Copies of this chain bind each other. A is one copy, B any other.
């Protein structure tokens, strides 16, 4: 039991550290080999809020609820912290699920074929009908056959090419071509375990020391800041403008670029998602900066007047070719309307690098074993090549996809309205992605209370919200924000039936919070 307590204290300790910045107990007397003083300082300094203190705290409360029901002022943890739709009740897309299952079990495919012909006419319980009612529409079967034919040895258990299976990359390249109207080459595609491995590879490639910088939007998903810190570079921030729905002024990027250069920092790359695309492409070309396009939300667009346009499409439309601009696009199956987070699939498309640099990227990808598991590879090919009009699955597929997207849009609207109705809270519309980032204008007394506990105001708010209601949101400081402003990040992914409960909890909590701290 002593050991179990010791293990638990790890998490308690983590929380203590993050919430009260108390000095660390040194255990170096007991474990002499490795201490905080002797590990890589880059590891020590980097932060990753989305799996950080508040999430760990929530897990502990969840465990407490399980062990001692009734011991907390709420009976359920409602997680609005993570883009994890299927865990929150969303069902997988049928077509994707069918094809993946069939690919995992090629013998079913053969049996289906065999039995179909042998039992034709048996009406009492037609096997084909049975099997097809459980697992397969005709195009799922056909697609699974095609995919298995593309896999060397028709097995999902063999290592594939460092960049992933050629045939699947060809399907994806074709999907990109169809999307953009410009060529895409399977040799430029690396199938990755989500977007992270691709980001790490590019950081490893570009960052030589803290004198190399990466321009990152603030706020942004902290994978970038964490990866830059871990690989020893400098994050050069540029701020998105909350007043214009997180819009981007190109002048802000230019002035941050100049500021970085005046400090001796070489800006190697710029991270961004879809904003002011032509100006950005122009700037990157002119300044010799690699464009890292985070395009994981290409299928999560809710605003009716918005349509996804890839940076590659924009650059090519402007007449820029490979030689003009180095451009890496990231996509992941954890996002999108399907939300297949733990299948771990994705790709990066790497264009505009010379052959010798492409070779170095390939080498690092090999060393990192970056290529995703075969299920993730197959799923990535399905996402980029979904059922088409006329396919048996098309109707179900479209209904599922539109059902999810329209439900997400409704949830986003309800939560946005709820936040905007709160005293001192303003919240921009979600036009894509999966998150709201409402701003908290909190009273001085709350600021003082947070200071007294040595934690950021938004972390103080988020912790109170969690402890009093069981709602988990992430403090905005984990994503970056204009100094002196405070936000929380809230996903729109919890099941629609749970949204009223979230709204009620947040509204009641916020009123109580303001009553306690109002100046």
Instruction: Find the residue from A35, A36, A158 having the highest chain B CB count within 10 A.
Output: A158
Asked if A153 and B86 sit within 8 Å, CB to CB, the answer is: yes
Residues of chain B with a CB closer than 8 A to A375's CB:
104, 343, 373, 375
Binding site for B on A (CB under 8 A): 3-4, 6-7, 9-10, 13-14, 17, 24-28, 30-36, 38-44, 46-48, 50-52, 59, 82-89, 92, 97, 100-101, 104-105, 107-108, 111, 115, 119, 122, 124-125, 127, 130, 134-135, 152-153, 155-162, 183, 185, 187, 193-194, 196-197, 200, 204-208, 223, 226-227, 230-231, 268, 288-290, 322-323, 325-326, 334, 338-344, 352-360, 362-364, 366-369, 372-376
A212: nearest residue on chain B (CB-CB)? Answer: B40
Residues of chain B with a CB closer than 8 A to A51's CB:
162, 366
With A48-B367, A125-B122 in contact, is A30–B323 under 8 Å at CB?
Answer: yes
Instruction: Find the residue from A10, A26, A159, A339 having the highest chain B CB count within 10 A.
Output: A159
Across the interface, A158 reaches (CB within 8 A) one of B24, B230, B342, B359, namely B342
Asked if B354 and A86 sit within 8 Å, CB to CB, the answer is: no
With A13-B359, A187-B7, A344-B373 in contact, is A33–B352 under 8 Å at CB?
Answer: yes
Asked if B360 and A36 sit within 8 Å, CB to CB, the answer is: yes
- Extra 12 A-B pairs, beta carbons < 8 Å, given A43-B204, A86-B153: A28-B354, A31-B352, A31-B353, A33-B289, A33-B326, A34-B290, A35-B356, A104-B104, A157-B339, A193-B193, A196-B369, A342-B374
Asked if A43 and B363 sit within 8 Å, CB to CB, the answer is: yes
Asked if A159 and B360 sit within 8 Å, CB to CB, the answer is: no
Q: How many angstroms between the C-alpha atoms of A362 and B43 in the bound complex?
A: 11
Residues of chain B with a CB closer than 8 A to A30's CB:
323, 354
Across the interface, A92 reaches (CB within 8 A) one of B108, B157, B368, namely B157
Residues of chain B with a CB closer than 8 A to A366's CB:
48, 50-52
Residues of chain B with a CB closer than 8 A to A372's CB:
344, 373
Asked if A100 and B104 sit within 8 Å, CB to CB, the answer is: yes
Residues of chain B with a CB closer than 8 A to A13's CB:
355-356, 359
A14: nearest residue on chain B (CB-CB)? Answer: B359
Query: How many protomers of this protein does the assembly include?
Result: 2
Q: How many angstroms between the C-alpha atoms of A134 and B114 in the bound complex?
A: 12
Across the interface, A357 reaches (CB within 8 A) one of B34, B111, B334, namely B34
Instruction: Find the residue from A339, A358, A372 having the highest chain B CB count within 10 A.
Output: A358
Asked if B341 and A159 sit within 8 Å, CB to CB, the answer is: yes
Q: How many angstroms between the C-alpha atoms of A43 and B367 in the bound complex?
A: 10
Asked if A27 and B356 sit within 8 Å, CB to CB, the answer is: yes
Q: How many angstroms between the C-alpha atoms of A336 and B334 in the bound complex?
A: 30
Instruction: Find the residue from A17, A31, A368, A372 having the highest chain B CB count within 10 A.
Output: A31
With A135-B105, A160-B342 in contact, is A354–B193 under 8 Å at CB?
Answer: no
Nearest-Cβ distance from residue A333 to partner chain B, whole angstroms = 9
Instruction: Find the residue from A24, A41, A354 having the highest chain B CB count within 10 A.
Output: A354
Residues of chain B with a CB closer than 8 A to A153's CB:
86-89
With A104-B104, A124-B124 in contact, is A230–B208 under 8 Å at CB?
Answer: no
A92: nearest residue on chain B (CB-CB)? Answer: B157
Asked if A342 and B97 sit within 8 Å, CB to CB, the answer is: no
Q: How many angstroms between the C-alpha atoms of A159 and B46 in the bound complex?
A: 22
Residues of chain B with a CB closer than 8 A to A160's CB:
342
Nearest-Cβ distance from residue A289 to partner chain B, whole angstroms = 7
10 contacts between A and B (CB under 8 A): A7-B185, A17-B359, A27-B354, A31-B357, A51-B162, A101-B105, A193-B373, A342-B373, A343-B373, A344-B374
Instruction: Find the residue from A40, A46, A325 having the highest chain B CB count within 10 A.
Output: A40
Across the interface, A368 reaches (CB within 8 A) one of B24, B104, B196, B340, namely B196
With A43-B204, A208-B41, A288-B33 in contact, is A87–B356 under 8 Å at CB?
Answer: no
Nearest-Cβ distance from residue A168 to partner chain B, whole angstroms = 12
Across the interface, A363 reaches (CB within 8 A) one of B24, B46, B355, namely B46
Asked if A125 and B135 sit within 8 Å, CB to CB, the answer is: no
Residues of chain B with a CB closer than 8 A to A124's CB:
122, 124-125
Asked if B355 and A27 sit within 8 Å, CB to CB, the answer is: yes
Residues of chain B with a CB closer than 8 A to A88's CB:
153, 158
Q: Which 5 A-B pairs have the closest CB atoms?
A: A87-B158, A27-B354, A86-B157, A344-B373, A51-B366
Asked if B33 and A342 sit within 8 Å, CB to CB, the answer is: no
Q: How many angstroms between the C-alpha atoms of A85 and B376 in the bound complex?
A: 20
A41: nearest residue on chain B (CB-CB)? Answer: B208
